[in-house]
Amino acid sequence: MSSPHTARRTLGISPGITSTGVLNIGEVLRVLVVDFPQITASKIRFLEEKGLITPQRTRAGYRKYAPHDVERLRFVLALQRDQYLPLKVIKDYVDAIDRGEKPESLPGGMTLSPRMVSDQLAQELGAHARSLTPQALAAETGAQLRLIEELASFGLIAAVDGRFDEHALKITKACVQLESHGIGPRHLRPFRAAADRELGLVERVVAPVVSRRDVSSKARAAETAREISELCLDLHSALVRNHVAKMDR
């Protein structure tokens, strides 16, 4: 595995910080706030929880950030702000760099060689441009056309000009597996309703920023919306797993 410093050079990130010392989270904020005015301590901790950075810890449990941690943060935040990429895609990319692999260019609109990046990363990036007919969606997911029609009728997936995107692909794959357990589209309507409620919550939070017309505000709104949606998914997953775990007690 390549060292963090090697990864920094491979990523082409400017040094920014030349000190060999470590920083606390407040000092990291002061370094990053110039380029990322909306950065907060909670955002940095959130990125740590998602595995984007792994700061050192003191014996008392306080985080200590090395220069390469700060530059990694800068890189991740720039990809979120400028290319609107999901954190999982960004994580796969920087993990590939850490493993010594050499993607040809940055994520988003780039040509990838499967030998140079993880299969998951290639799939995630390729998915952004997916446009599938119902027949192609059925072929890729193993779903019957009947199931696809039912999913669309219950509002779980939607076609645009007769074609489905990568989100419909993921939803259909999950629904195929659920159907094998006797859970059909009609049982999944609460998921659609819950997603709509979560979306409404996200929209209320970002509405003040979305109303502004400048590009930077829209980028901040998109970043905030992604973060809130990922937190909602984490909460939902934790609640369900908690109840499932109780079945074994």
What would the pLDDT profile of 95-151 be if each residue is shown by its tens digit? 877 777 766 555 544 443 333 344 544 454 444 446 789 999 999 999 999 999 999
SS3 53: coil
The average pLDDT across 11-20 equals 42
CATH code, domain with 60: 1.10.1660.10
Q: Which domain holds residue 20?
A: 4-127
Distance CA 43, CA 149 (A): 40
Distance CA 174, CA 190 (A): 15
More confidently predicted of 83 and 9: 83
Query: 8 and 123, same structural domain?
Result: yes
Query: 202 and 120, same structural domain?
Result: no
Instruction: With beta carbons less than 8 A apart as the criterion, state whether 151 and 175 touch.
Output: yes
Query: 174 and 65, same structural domain?
Result: no
Name beta bridge partners: 23. 65
Query: 153 and 101, same structural domain?
Result: no
CA–CA–CA angle 183, 153, 144 (5° rounding): 60
Instruction: With beta carbons less than 8 A apart as the criterion, state whether 155 and 135 touch.
Output: no
Query: What is the full DSSP assignment across 184-233?
Result: -GGGGHHHHHHHHHHHHHHHHHHHHHHTS-SHHHHHHHHHHHHHHHHHHH
Choosing from 87, 107, 127, the residue where a domain stops is 127
Query: 142 and 209, same structural domain?
Result: no
For residue 36, how many other CB atoms are within 10 A of its CB?
19
Choosing from 80, 97, 127, the residue where a domain stops is 127
What would the pLDDT profile of 49-67 be if each residue is shown by its tens digit? 888 888 888 888 888 998 8
CA distances (Å), 90 to each of 5, 31, 73, 205, in order?
Answer: 18, 21, 11, 24
Query: 116 and 53, same structural domain?
Result: yes
What pLDDT shows up at residue 214? Answer: 65
| Per-residue DSSP letter, 64 | E
What would the pLDDT profile of 152-205 be if each residue is shown by its tens digit? 999 999 998 899 987 898 899 999 999 999 999 999 989 888 888 888 888 888
What pLDDT shows up at residue 182? Answer: 94
**Whether pLDDT at 8 is above 50:** no
Q: Where are the alpha helices (DSSP H) in the chain?
A: 4-11, 25-32, 41-49, 67-83, 87-98, 119-127, 134-141, 145-153, 166-179, 189-210, 215-246
The total domain count for the chain is 3
CA distances (Å), 209 to each of 53, 155, 198, 221, in order?
Answer: 28, 28, 18, 6
What pLDDT shows up at residue 10? Answer: 39
Query: 86 and 21, same structural domain?
Result: yes
Among 52, 76, 28, 42, CA closest to 228: 42
Distance CA 148, CA 175 (A): 9
- State percent of the chain over pLDDT 90: 21
Query: 169 and 58, same structural domain?
Result: no
Query: 168 and 66, same structural domain?
Result: no
Query: 76 and 41, same structural domain?
Result: yes
Query: 123 and 17, same structural domain?
Result: yes
Query: 174 and 195, same structural domain?
Result: no
Query: Going by C-beta distance under 8 Å and a sequence separation of 6 or more, which residues neighbour residue 103?
Result: 93, 96, 97, 110, 112, 116, 117
